[in-house]
Amino acid sequence: MQKQTLQRFATRSFLLILTAVLFSPTPLATAAKPEGKAHHYKQIGDRKLTVYVTKPSDWVKGQSRPAIVFYHGGGWVGGAPGQFTEHSKYFASRGIVCFQVEYRLLNRSNNEPPTKCIEDAKSAMRWIRSRSAQFGIDPKRIASAGGSAGGHLAAFVGTTDGVDSAEDDLSISAKSNAMLLFNPVYNNGPGGWGTKRVGENYQQFSPAHNLSRDDPPCIVFLGDQDQLIPVSTAEQFNESLTKVGVKSELVIYKGQGHGFFNHGRSENKFYKSTVVACDRFLESLGWLQGPPTLAD
């Protein structure tokens, strides 16, 4: 009897893990330990939210370097800072100050919208920009970056107004100056990902429904076998930005599914390819100089 109980428990555990792997918007086991010095950027009740800062080895106070703010994926209900640790280390080696943001997650058991995730994403951007001198960064060259639900947050701070934390100083802009988006779930309208949570209020939450000519330049990476984001969604986003005069690039990877870009997958083939493409994109904006130092 005990043996049968253990077997049933093992089978149930396996099925739960398999389900999580197959249906999580960001594959599990992709997050490394967060890189860089920890700073608390916000406190909600007794909980302090952390941003991890990775600086170039030759960083000195008083500089005006570009910056990248990374948001991890996980369907707004999972994940943790650390998914973009290797990205942060690479771009720090190229002279960019990098930040990885912890934000509050949603409850898996209800359908609340990602309000608190967005509030924290914008609070982090304001906190970072208000401390540009402290971190030696240019407040007009701060990119937002993220994957999956983190890509949604990175796109939101670049394109969409509203959903601000009541404690934020709204005189400080939360708008990013460039967007690096890895299979982002940025269309939350009818038929898009996340519609169940945002419902009829999708225009408040969906970056794809808030594009305008003052949005920052953007590069998007997507696999053509992604089960959450159709290629047509990314093409429409790219076309809409281009139509209003915003620099936009879309890179489609044949045969790749969701999370293909993560460090540690496919012998880092697509991690390297997407990082090099980001490097060249930032070089085209004048944020970097010289060729990428990572071979794709």
pLDDT digit string, tens, across residues 85-129: 999 999 999 999 999 999 999 999 999 999 999 999 999 999 999
Q: CATH code at 193?
A: 3.40.50.1820
For 134, which DSSP code?
H
pLDDT of residue 295: 83
pLDDT of residue 20: 40
Tens-place pLDDT, residues 252-295: 999 999 999 999 999 999 999 999 999 999 999 999 999 999 98
CB neighbour list of residue 57: distance below 8 Å, 6 or more residues apart = 92, 93
Q: Give the three-state DSSP class for 154.
A: helix
Beta strand 178-182 with 218-223 is parallel
Span 208-255, pLDDT tens digits: 999 999 999 999 999 999 999 999 999 999 999 999 999 999 999 999
Is the confidence at residue 158, as pLDDT, over 90?
yes
Residue 50: which H helix or E strand, with range? strand 47-54
> Does residue 291 fall inside a structural domain?
no
pLDDT at 27: 44
| pLDDT score for 231 | 98
Please tell me whether residue 3 adopts helix, strand or coil conformation.
Answer: helix
DSSP state of 200: G
Is 293 among the domain residues?
Answer: no
Alpha helix positions (H), the chain: 2-23, 85-93, 115-130, 132-135, 149-159, 195-198, 202-205, 231-243, 269-284
Q: Which has more confidence, 30 or 134?
A: 134
Q: At residue 79, what are phi and psi to the nearest 5 degrees?
A: 85, 175
DSSP 215-281: SPPEEEEEETT-SSS-HHHHHHHHHHHHHTT--EEEEEETT--TTTTSTTSGGGHHHHHHHHHHHHH
Average pLDDT value for residue range 131-151: 98
State pTM to two decimals: 0.90
Residue 294 in any domain: the answer is no
For residues 73 and 146, the answer to whether their CB atoms sit within 8 Å is: yes
Domain holding 53, by residue range, is 2-284
At residue 252, the pLDDT reads: 98
Is residue 292 a part of any domain in this protein? no
Range 53-81 average pLDDT: 96
C-alpha distances out from residue 29 to 21, 23, 165, 226, Å: 9, 14, 31, 19
Tokens describing residue 220: 């998007």
Distance in angstroms (rounded) separating the CA atoms of residues 7 and 80:
31
Mean pLDDT across the chain: 91
Query: Could you tell me the pLDDT band of residue 31, with boundaries at 50, 70 and 90?
Result: low
287 C-beta neighbours (distance < 10 Å), count:
22
How much is the average pLDDT of 39-54?
97
Q: What SS3 string covers 78-94?
A: CCCCCCCHHHHHHHHHC
Indicate if the pLDDT at residue 200 is higher than 90.
yes
Mean pLDDT in residue range 129-150 = 98
Residue 295 domain-assigned (yes or no): no
| CA distance linking residue 137 with residue 127, whole number of Å | 13
Q: Is residue 26 assigned to a domain? A: yes
Domain count across the chain: 1
Q: Is 82 left (phi over 0), alpha (psi -120 to 50) or beta?
A: left
In a domain, 290, yes or no: no
Name the band, by pLDDT with cuts 50, 70 and 90, for residue 7. Answer: low
Whether 215 and 129 have beta carbons less than 8 Å apart is answered as: no
The yes-or-no verdict on residue 81 having pLDDT over 60 is yes
Residue 30 above 60 pLDDT? no
Residue 12 to residue 10: CA distance in whole angstroms: 5
